[in-house]
Amino acid sequence: MGSRFACQASAAFGLEGLVAEELRSLNMADVLSENGDVRFSADAEELFRCNLFLRYCDRVFVVMADQKCVTFDELFRLVNSIPWEDYVSGNEAFNISAKCARSRLMSPRDCQSIAKKALLERLKEKTKLRIFPENGPSFPVLVSVHSDRVRILLNTSGDALSRRGYRTWNGEAPLRETLAAALVRLSPWKPGMPLYDPCCGTGTILTEAALIASHRCPGISRHFAMEQFHFCRSLDFTFLRKTAEESFCPDLISDISGSDIDPGPLKLALRHVHQAGLDGRISLSVLPLQEVSLSSENGVFICNPPYGERLSDQAASRTLYRDLHALKSRHPSWSLCAISSDPGFERAFGLRADKKRRLYNGRLECTYYIYYGTRKPVSC
C-alpha cells in the first residue's frame, strides 16, 4: 500500500449521509461527516476507486493542509509549508481557486493569488527551476476558507462527479445526476420493482435508476484529474477501470419507464440512455401525466415536476401537483416521490406527505415529498 492521505468528499447539502454510507461500503477508513463534508483516509488507488464509484458525491479532495489563518501572511506560510515538490513534475498548470465564507480572509481573488505565489516560491526554492511553463496537465487546488479555518485541497476529480459523461445535451431544468441518484436511493424503490417518472424530461432519474439496478459504476465513462497527477503515475488506471466494469449487468434492469408531455427533452433522454450504454432498457413515451395509467402494482413514481419559480408559472405547476395526486390515487399500491421548491406543494397536492427531506437542487432549497402506497400482495 502507498502513502495514505487525509481526504475529503464534498456533497450537496443533505447528501453527506449518503456519501458517508458509500465510503464505508467501499471500505474507506476513518469516515466522519463534518459540516457538510465527509472526511476519510485513503491511498491513491482507493482515491481512484472513490472517484469511480461514489454516486452522490460532488468531488474528492486530498487535504494538503488544514489550519486556522486570519491574515494573508499566515495563508502564505501555510501554502508554502506544503511539500508540493513531492507531488508535481514541474510542468503542471496550477489551477488555483478559492472560496471564502464567514472569515476574516474574505477575498477569494486575493487568497487565490497569494496561494499561487506561495506554491510557486516553494517549488522554485526546492527544485531550483526558475520557470514553470504551466503547459502540462491540470493540477487543480482549492483554497477553502470557512470560519477562519483554511483548508488547502487538491481536487482529484477535476470536473464535478455529477458529470458522468452520458449527458452531453441539457434540457431546460435538468437535475444533476448526483441528486437524481439520491432521489432514487431515498425513495422506497428497490431494483426489480417498477419505477416510473411521469415528467421525465431528459430522463436523468430513470437513467440513474437503471445504472443503480445494473451495478454500473457511475464514473466509468469519464476521466478524473488524478489520472494526470505525477505522484499517481504508477497506478494502472486501465486495469482498475476494467475491474470496475465487470460488475455491470444490464439484464438486471426491469420495468424502468417514464413519459413527458414535451417531445423535445424526450429526444435528449433517448440520446442520454444510448450514451449511458442502456439502449432498449428504459421505455419512454410522449404522454401528459394526466393520462398515465399502468397495469403493474407496487411500483414507485419518482419525479421532478416544474417548481413554478416565476409567479406567472405557479398556478400551472400547482395544478400539476393536484394531477400528481390524482395519478397516485389511480395507482393506490404505488408510492409517489416528488421534489419541489414550492412551499405550497402539499397544499396543492391535497395531502400531507408521509415523509419529507430537505435537499438542494443547485442553490434552490427544496423538499423531497414521499407518499407511500398500500402494497398489494403479488401472486407468484
Grid cell locating 22: 458509500
The β-bridge partners of 365 are: 360
Is 261 in a helix, a strand, or coil?
A: coil
**Other CB atoms within 10 A of residue 77 CB:** 13
Q: Are strands 195-197 and 256-260 parallel, antiparallel or unpaired?
A: parallel
The β-bridge partners of 197 are: 258
337 lies in the binding site for ligand SAM (CB under 6 A): no
Residues 79, 111 contacting (CB under 8 angstroms): no
320 lies in the binding site for ligand SAM (CB under 6 A): yes
Number of chain residues interacting with ligand SAM (CB under 6 A): 20
Closest separation between CB of residue 286 and ligand SAM, Å? 9
Sole binder of ligand SAM in the list 204, 214, 335, 340 (CB under 6 A): 204
308 lies in the binding site for ligand SAM (CB under 6 A): no
Sole binder of ligand SAM in the list 218, 305, 308, 373 (CB under 6 A): 305
Q: What is the number of alpha carbons within 13 Å of residue 3 lying toward its C-beta?
A: 9
Binding mask 258-297 for ligand SAM (x = CB under 6 A): --xxx--x----------------------xx--------
Distance CA 298, CA 206 (A): 17
Nearest to 345 by CA among 301, 314, 378, 299: 314
Closest separation between CB of residue 262 and ligand SAM, Å? 4
Closest separation between CB of residue 285 and ligand SAM, Å? 10
Which stretch in 19-27, 30-38, 255-263, 274-282 sits in contact with ligand SAM by CB under 6 A? Answer: 255-263
Closest separation between CB of residue 379 and ligand SAM, Å? 32
Sole binder of ligand SAM in the list 105, 205, 212, 284 (CB under 6 A): 205
Closest separation between CB of residue 199 and ligand SAM, Å? 3
Which stretch in 83-91, 300-308, 326-334, 341-349 sits in contact with ligand SAM by CB under 6 A? Answer: 300-308
188 lies in the binding site for ligand SAM (CB under 6 A): no
Distance CA 51, CA 218 (A): 9
92 lies in the binding site for ligand SAM (CB under 6 A): no
195 lies in the binding site for ligand SAM (CB under 6 A): no
Sole binder of ligand SAM in the list 38, 175, 186, 253 (CB under 6 A): 175
50 lies in the binding site for ligand SAM (CB under 6 A): no
| Closer Cβ to ligand SAM, 83 or 343, answer by number | 343
Which stretch in 49-57, 86-94, 198-206, 244-252 sits in contact with ligand SAM by CB under 6 A? Answer: 198-206
Single-letter residue type at 136? G
Q: What is the Rg, in whole angstroms, of the alpha carbon atoms belonging to the chain? A: 23
Single-letter residue type at 250? P
| Closer Cβ to ligand SAM, 140 or 305, answer by number | 305
Sole binder of ligand SAM in the list 51, 304, 335, 340 (CB under 6 A): 304
Distance CA 237, CA 223 (A): 10
Distance CA 87, CA 85 (A): 5
Distance CA 156, CA 139 (A): 9
Helix boundaries (H) for 221-294: 237-245, 263-275
Tell how many helices (H) and how many strands (E) occur in the chain: 10, 14
218 lies in the binding site for ligand SAM (CB under 6 A): no
Alpha-carbon 108 to chain mean position: 24
158 lies in the binding site for ligand SAM (CB under 6 A): no
The footprint of ligand SAM (CB under 6 A) covers 171, 173-175, 198-199, 201-202, 204-205, 260-262, 265, 288-289, 304-306, 320
